[in-house]
Amino acid sequence: MTFHSPSKSHSIKVKTVFLSDLHLGTRFAKVDYLLDFLYNIDPEQIILVGDIIDIWSLKTGWHWKQSHTNVIRRLLSFAKQGKRVIYIPGNHDETFREYVNLSFGEVQIKERIEYRTMDGKRLMVVHGDQYDVFMRSSYRWLAHVGDKLFHGVQNLSRLYQRFRQFLGLKYWSLAGYLKDRTKSVVKVIGRFEEALITAAKREGYDGVICGHIHHAEIREIDGLQYYNTGDWVDSCTALVERQDGRLEVIRWIDIIEGRSQMPQAIPETLAKTKAPL
């Protein structure tokens, strides 16, 4: 597995990086990929869009390694450097919603925020679980059942990935494949996206940035812009706003696996090191 040695002079400089669904505290979190990304990005601000620490999972089984702590330290180091860091809790870390509008050191905790792009667009930034039908009180038990099923699929996916590594094959997400090709899941994702866009339109926004469903996406829906940050369990994606105002999804796992090139801000001659999963 080829990772990139951090180099401040070769960092990807962006205005803002949006991260969600890290699920720290679970065995499924791809922490090495995440750390590799965090040490090769130089943002002016970071917006954490929920499900950063998976408290749901930590209540039933403790899985916290030093690398998980290193992610927290890296995020806090950005704040100590004077970069703006905002934390919008999601459903898996909803405990932190009790501290909305307070600060944890230099990190601001918000329920949601309005984000202004460089070209003046107003975007609603929210984790998104509030617009998920399965997170409503009468269906909330289904969300926990779904979470257990998700863990089962992830366990199967990990075993399959180890088999592929044994054969010398590159990473391929079984969980992502099943999600993208299951009609009922595709329908739920569509309803989720429509609900968010409807809410954003009602409040006069030009679009929405969210996480929650682990499906990175940039597209126009009903005349508004929809952005989903993806996750760091399967796809290892982040949404960034570049210095020139472009918003794009960076798929770090594809860069690690050689399926796409490093962003132009980093020379191709960047030194590389090996790191274990």
| pLDDT tens, the chain, 277 aa long | 556 655 554 689 999 999 999 999 998 899 999 999 999 999 999 999 999 999 988 887 778 999 999 999 999 999 999 999 999 999 999 999 999 999 988 999 999 999 999 999 999 999 999 887 655 554 454 444 455 555 555 556 666 566 656 666 666 665 665 555 554 556 677 888 999 999 999 999 999 999 998 889 999 999 999 999 999 998 899 999 998 899 999 999 888 877 777 776 543 333 333 333 3
Structure tokens belonging to residue 169: 């094959």
Query: How far is C-alpha 151 from the chain's CA centre?
Result: 17
Question: How much is the pLDDT for 100?
Answer: 95
- Domain assignment of residue 252, given as a range: 2-274
- State the helix-helix crossing angle for 31-38 and 66-80, rounded to 10 degrees: 20
Quick: pLDDT tens for 180-195.
Answer: 555 455 667 788 899 9
Question: How much is the pLDDT for 155?
Answer: 58
What pTM does this model have? 0.79
CATH number at residue 60: 3.60.21.10
Q: Which residues contact 92 (CB under 8 A, 6 or more apart)?
A: 23, 50, 51, 53, 54, 55, 56, 57
Question: How much is the pLDDT for 274?
Answer: 32
Q: What is the largest CA-CA distance in the chain?
A: 55
Quick: pLDDT tens for 25-66.
Answer: 998 899 999 999 999 999 999 999 999 999 988 887 778 999
Give the Cα separation of 210 and 187 in Å (integer).
Answer: 18
- In eight-state DSSP terms, residue 171 is P
Give the Cα separation of 117 and 209 in Å (integer).
Answer: 11
The total of structural domains in the chain comes to 1
Contact 81, 42 (CB under 8 A): no
